[in-house]
Amino acid sequence: MDDKQQQRRERAYRIWEDEGRPEGAQDDHWKRAEEQPEFNEQESEDVTKVNQQADDEFARDGKETGTAADIKPPSAISPD
């Protein structure tokens, strides 16, 4: 078995697992594995880098730079 066949087999297996290991869907999994683009190592690193940047940006949004003493607990008195 060559590398491309092995990669296709691994992609089909991951699709099968991601879908909860359904029975009888192997033809669809194989077809989808064949259609999925193959990422080379550089593309994979680029995607990881972009995702990390987005995570970092999301973590910074909406956070104030105050201290723990500035945080006020929610009121225990009902507004009703």
Evaluate whether residue 55 is within a structural domain. no
Q: What is the pLDDT along the chain (80 residues), one digit of tens a residue?
A: 788 888 889 888 988 998 999 999 999 999 988 887 666 566 777 888 888 999 988 888 756 555 666 666 666 666 65
CA 27, CA 14: separation in Å to the nearest integer?
14
CB-CB contact of 34 with 9 (8 Å): no
Evaluate whether residue 16 is within a structural domain. yes
Evaluate whether residue 66 is within a structural domain. no
Number of domains in the chain: 1
User: Which structural domain range is residue 6 located in?
Assistant: 1-40
